[in-house]
Amino acid sequence: MSKKNKTTQLPQLSPENYIRQKARKLPVYECLVNSEWEKSKMVTVIVARVHANGNITAGIYLVDLFCLGIKDTTYLFNSPLSEYKNKIFKMENLQPIQVSYELAHNIVFSGLDYATELGLNPRKEFTSLTSYILEEDNEDIDLIEIECGRNGKPFYLQGQYDSDQMVKQVDRQLERAVGKGNYDIIRTSEAGKHSDKYNNQSIEDEHNEFRDMTYEEKKDLFLELLKSMEGKNKGNHEKLSDLVISVFNELLNDNLVHDQFKRYSKNLAVDLLPINEIPFELWGIEPSKQIITDKITVLFVEAYNMVNENTKKASKKTNKLKKIVGDIPIVRLLELMILQREGKEEKSIQMILDNQATFPDYPIFKIQLLLIKIEGFSIPEKLRNTIPGIQELFGDRTSLHEIEFMNYILALIALIENEGNAEKLEALQWAIEELELPSSLDATVYNEIMAIKFKLVIAYFS
């Protein structure tokens, strides 16, 4: 997979995966908070760690101690010290003061715990990423009492960019959590002077125009928009998609999503090879048994790219490749893709079974068994888990070709669909979004995931 920062000499991990796996091992450079944070209760916390090369990786957290907890978060990765200092200097109204790591840690997690008790979830980016710049919240960190709320009650101070819809959402949640009259809210007219430059996104997802609708109203709108799918009204199609995402998100248990995300993210930590960089494992042959020339590689790439455009031309290219390299797994893979593209289901199934029997150790042929439904066929036990590890299929390889990776992702999606697990589907989507897949692969995965979300929403309304 591509790297965001090519000027460094860090291990071959994306910034996100490096943070998750290694940031806690970096020594703390400094911790900053805004001055008079105890009075304002809106705290910008910066925890900076230093690499061996002197560069800085830092987590930045906007913590609302009144009730919302982790209201926003972002990070800097492996930035030169001068760039990090300049970033801090440009943060308006920060007036930073240095504090101990223990105080910075306690501010963040006190706000988080208080909000969680109220049923208000942190920014997704915190749980999935920037929390890994902090130490684990356990007994190894000295406990410092941080006062949350105002006058012993939750207090919501509407920020400059907090929509009226968000105010209603928080209001309803606080009433559910502590009861009417046991919390305070100040709206925009009273809160304008307390905004912060990081207070620019809601803690809720962007598809919130449906939040105030009842179950029946959403169901009626869903059916109405579903009928319009036969027409060419693009606006209705987009609205239906937004409604599906909104309803799907309401079905999720955030804690379960976060737990599953950690597993998927760790499992998908491999490098992604481009289409023309083909490892011998994908060819399915021993290096000593076949010399793969540039001409052979180009022929395969041409055939592969033609499958979705013109199966007849793809077949000609595939047959030409077969005459050169023989009946090897990668040739059979092309032949299978052509059959599937032509909609020849029975022949495809027969070929999948024959391929697996002939080349039982070829990973993609194992995966193909997960992507079909055959009466009387049982998925091998070690692959029934909806998170079969890459190692279980590809061994100890640290990089996969994009064809291998796509087949693996589609298998995970198929297993999740079979289980009907919304949290696993959302967690997998989070993990995939951080991989920077090529646009064509990204679109394919997104469409597959959206199709399953659609099915789960239909089941919910049924």
The mean pLDDT of 224-235, rounded to a whole number, is 68
pLDDT of 201 above 50: no
pLDDT tier at 262, thresholds 50, 70, 90: confident
More confident residue, 462 or 388: 462
10 Å CB burial of residue 288 (0-12, 13-18, 19+) is: exposed
What pLDDT sits at residue 7? 42
pLDDT tier at 229, thresholds 50, 70, 90: low
Q: To the nearest whole percent, how much of the chain has pLDDT over 70?
A: 84
CA distances to 251, 426, 446, 452 from 416, in Å = 15, 10, 14, 9
What pLDDT sits at residue 24? 95
The mean pLDDT of 130-159, rounded to a whole number, is 91
More confident residue, 201 or 180: 180
The mean pLDDT of 2-30, rounded to a whole number, is 72
pTM: 0.54
Q: Which of 457, 460, 462, 459 is nearest to 243 (CA)?
A: 457
Most confident by average pLDDT, 17-21, 58-62, 215-219: 58-62
Q: Where are the alpha helices (DSSP H) in 287-401?
A: 294-306, 311-325, 329-341, 345-358, 363-370, 390-394
* Both tokens assigned to 459: 């089941």
Min mean pLDDT across 85-99, 200-214, 246-260, 280-294 is at 200-214
Cα-to-chain-centroid distance, residue 259: 12
Most confident by average pLDDT, 116-125, 271-280, 320-329: 320-329
pLDDT digits (tens, 9 = 90+) for 151-186: 899 999 877 666 666 787 788 889 888 988 899 888
Cβ atoms within 10 Å of 98's Cβ, excluding its own: 11
pLDDT tier at 345, thresholds 50, 70, 90: confident
Give Cβ neighbours of residue 52 (< 8 Å, ≥ 6 apart).
none
pLDDT of 450 above 50: yes
More confident residue, 462 or 248: 248
Burial 232-243 (b: 16+ CB within 10 A, else e): eeeebeebbebb
pLDDT of 42 above 80: yes
Most confident by average pLDDT, 194-198, 358-362, 412-416: 358-362
C-alpha–C-alpha distance, residues 452 and 460, integer Å:
12
Q: To the nearest whole percent, how much of the chain has pLDDT over 90?
A: 35
More confident residue, 228 or 69: 69
The mean pLDDT of 23-29, rounded to a whole number, is 95
What pLDDT sits at residue 318? 94
Min mean pLDDT across 90-99, 228-237, 281-290, 420-429 is at 228-237
Burial 346-360 (b: 16+ CB within 10 A, else e): eebbebbbebbeebe
The mean pLDDT of 127-147, rounded to a whole number, is 93
What pLDDT sits at residue 225? 85
What pLDDT sits at residue 245? 86
pLDDT of 461 above 90: no
The mean pLDDT of 377-386, rounded to a whole number, is 54
What pLDDT sits at residue 313? 93
User: Please, are residues 445 and 413 in contact by the beta-carbon 8 Å criterion?
Assistant: yes
pLDDT tier at 198, thresholds 50, 70, 90: very low
The mean pLDDT of 387-412, rounded to a whole number, is 83
Indicate the average pLDDT of the chain: 82
